[in-house]
Chains A and B, each alone.
Chain A
Amino acid sequence: MGDWDWGVIERSWPLLRDATWVSIQLFFASLVLATALGLLLALMRLSNSRPLRWISAIYVWIFRGLPALIILFFAFFWLGRELDLTPFQAAVLGLGVSSAAYKAEIIRAGLMAVDDGQYEAAEALGFTKAHAMRRIILPQGVRVMIPTYMSNATLLFKSTSLAAVIGLTELTGRSRQLANSTFKPIEILTAAGVIYLVLTSFLVISQGLLERRFRLKS
């Protein structure tokens, strides 16, 4: 084993920093897509319409049953070519629809944890279903969802590394390239690992803060 080379990390830092930024953008874009689609799927699953319930259940079964990498390949090699998407857009689409299946289950569990009496009370007060969901049920469900939602978001952040396989130079893809070109895989990959650890730890800390923020004040 050679000596640890700080210089190579220093020289690679601008590229690693830019790649980290790509990972973060990829994370937020796919988190937004996954949350919106997951909420829609959860509401479909809880609706009175049987076809909507079925579509949602089958969606969840398929997208939780497939490796995220395969979904990413579909988004890149198939949809990406049909719709002329950039690798970044294909990655957002693939990660988003894959993560939405998990988000749907988390949101559904949160909504179901809200006491039935809350629905009935809202109905008795003349709220429409949509209004009751938005004003009464969702705000209470969010509290229950935070821990699972955030740990799932951490998983999603790590999954952004898969975009390296479809040629996006986010943090993992870039560090793989740099490991090759500098012949210093230990230093480069360790640096990337540290960046991931810092960012995932940051997500864990923000989970604690969110939980405190949404705690019942009694």
Chain B
Amino acid sequence: MDWNFIGEIAPTILEGLWITLSLFAWSMLFSTILGLMLALMRLSQIAPLRWFSIGFGWFFRGVPLLLLLFYAFFALPELGDTFLLSPFRAAVLGLSLWTAAYQSEAFRSGIIAVDSGQFEAAEALGMTKLHSMRKIVLPQAARIIIPPFMGNAINTMKQTSLATVITVPEMTLLAQRIISNEFKAVEPLFTLALIYLALTSVLVIAQFGLERTFRLKV
């Protein structure tokens, strides 16, 4: 392995770090909101809302993310110019919907793990459903939600690499460009691997931190 070459290409690959991180941040933001909504819909009394949530989860967990990205980038524009998205936006759309399907399961399992006596007690105290969800149930569910939520976040961080196939200039695309221009694969891939490993390791450490913060104090 040519270490000098790594020194030369590392800055180029790192130029894509910002885009990788933005892809991750936007997708996490949208998927968290959507995932929570889907979980609440799944638990609601209204049957069509439940069906929608189940159908959404079945669909987005049943097809590969790569196909979703192709769909967002190549097929959606056929429906009209409003759907003509930039590569970055198409990637955020695909990643958000895909992650939301997984996050909704994380939220739902956390919410149903909270003892039903807590709902009943909140009702007995005259709290509205919305109020008790926000003040009683979700804070207790947070503890249970953290591990699967962070596991999904780590997956999403790794899956941002797929945005390369719809020409988002994130790190993987920049590394691929070096591979095809310089005819050297090991150095750019090794550099790329180190950066991703650092990013996912930071998230694992953040998970430990969060789990400790939300631990029950007895």
Chain A interface (Cβ within 8 Å of chain B)? 1-2, 61-62, 64-70, 73-74, 77-78, 81, 158-162, 164-165, 172, 175-176, 179, 185-186, 189-190, 192-193, 196-197, 200-201
Question: Contact at A193–B63, with CB atoms within 8 Å?
Answer: yes
A65, A192, A197: the one within 8 Å of B59 (CB): A197
Give 12 new A-B contacts, CB below 8 A, not counting A65-B200, A70-B189, A189-B71: A1-B80, A2-B78, A66-B197, A67-B196, A73-B176, A74-B189, A165-B164, A175-B70, A185-B74, A189-B67, A193-B63, A197-B63
Question: Contact at A185–B78, with CB atoms within 8 Å?
Answer: yes
CA A52 to CA B157, docked complex, whole Å: 29
Residues of A within 8 A of B160 (CB): 67
How many residues of B sit at the interface, in one of the four size bands? Answer: 35 or more
CA A78 to CA B192, docked complex, whole Å: 14
Question: Contact at B67–A192, with CB atoms within 8 Å?
Answer: yes
B71, B196, B201: the one within 8 Å of A70 (CB): B196
* B199 (CB) vs chain A CBs: closest residue: A65
B193 within 8 A of A: yes
Question: Contact at B201–A65, with CB atoms within 8 Å?
Answer: yes
Proximity bits, B168-208, A CB within 8 Å = 1, else 0? 00001000100100000110010011001100110010000
B64 within 8 A of A: yes
Given A62-B197, A200-B62, decide whether A172 and B78 contact each other with a Cβ distance below 8 A: no
A61, A77, A172, A175: the one within 8 Å of B185 (CB): A77
Question: Contact at B67–A78, with CB atoms within 8 Å?
Answer: no
B59, B71, B159, B186: the one within 8 Å of A78 (CB): B186
A1, A158, A162: the one within 8 Å of B78 (CB): A1
- Shortest beta-carbon distance, B94 to chain A, in Å? 12
Residues of B within 8 A of A186 (CB): 75, 78-79
Given A70-B193, A78-B185, decide whether A193 and B67 contact each other with a Cβ distance below 8 A: yes
| A2, A62, A64, A190: residue with the most chain B Cβ atoms closer than 10 Å | A64
CA A61 to CA B205, docked complex, whole Å: 13
Residues of A within 8 A of B71 (CB): 185, 189-190, 193
- Shortest beta-carbon distance, A190 to chain B, in Å? 8
Chain B interface (Cβ within 8 Å of chain A)? 58-59, 61-67, 70-71, 74-75, 78-80, 158-162, 164-165, 172, 176, 179, 185-186, 189, 192-193, 196-197, 200-201, 204
Given A65-B196, A69-B162, A73-B185, decide whether A172 and B64 contact each other with a Cβ distance below 8 A: yes
Residues of A within 8 A of B186 (CB): 78
- Shortest beta-carbon distance, B109 to chain A, in Å? 13
- Shortest beta-carbon distance, A196 to chain B, in Å? 5
- Shortest beta-carbon distance, A80 to chain B, in Å? 9
Residues of A within 8 A of B185 (CB): 73-74, 77-78, 81
CA A179 to CA B201, docked complex, whole Å: 38
Residues of A within 8 A of B197 (CB): 62, 65-66
* B158 (CB) vs chain A CBs: closest residue: A67
CA A64 to CA B199, docked complex, whole Å: 12
Residues of B within 8 A of A189 (CB): 67, 70-71, 74-75
CA A68 to CA B158, docked complex, whole Å: 8
Residues of A within 8 A of B59 (CB): 197
Question: Contact at A77–B179, with CB atoms within 8 Å?
Answer: yes
* B68 (CB) vs chain A CBs: closest residue: A193
CA A189 to CA B79, docked complex, whole Å: 14
Question: Contact at B201–A196, with CB atoms within 8 Å?
Answer: no
Given A70-B172, A165-B165, A185-B74, decide whether A201 and B79 contact each other with a Cβ distance below 8 A: no
